[in-house]
Amino acid sequence: DGGITQSPKYLFRKEGQNVTLSCEQNLNHDAMYWYRQDPGQGLRLIYYSQIVNDFQKGDIAEGYSVSREKKESFPLTVTSAQKNPTAFYLCASSPQEGADTEAFFGQGTRLTVV
């Protein structure tokens, strides 16, 4: 059945290492998003993509990179330049246009720097 899948659920990274978080959707949605959530806080937009091979920076893009080579996939790389990467990361997708702009979220990846 259709949905959006993030993996892994938990991820541990050593300081100075890059790590890539996976996000896959089979909803045929054009738009995809990455958010970061810190404890007790709301979601902050990292990157978003409205179409394949195109993406835009959100409010906190520094230290992160993304790619959108396929419609179904929008991986997020947390680079060593991200000074405080420990957080809960959420991926979402939504239709580009149409009658319904509801966004669907994955279950999240909890990243911890050790």
Partner 1 sequence: LAKTTQPISMDSYEGQEVNITCSHNNIATNDYITWYQQFPSQGPRFIIQGYKTKVTNEVASLFIPADRKSSTLSLPRVSLSDTAVYYCLLSRRSSASKIIFGSGTRLSIRP
Binding site for partner 1 (CB under 8 A): 30-31, 33, 35, 41-45, 48, 50, 56, 58-59, 88, 90, 92, 94-108, 110
Min CB(107)–partner 1 separation in Å: 6
Min CB(75)–partner 1 separation in Å: 17
Beta carbon nearer to partner 1, 44 or 80? 44
Q: CA 48, CA 36: separation in Å to the nearest integer?
A: 12
Min CB(15)–partner 1 separation in Å: 24
Beta strand segments in the chain, E = 4-7, 10-13, 19-25, 31-37, 43-51, 54-57, 64-66, 76-78, 87-94, 104-105, 109-113
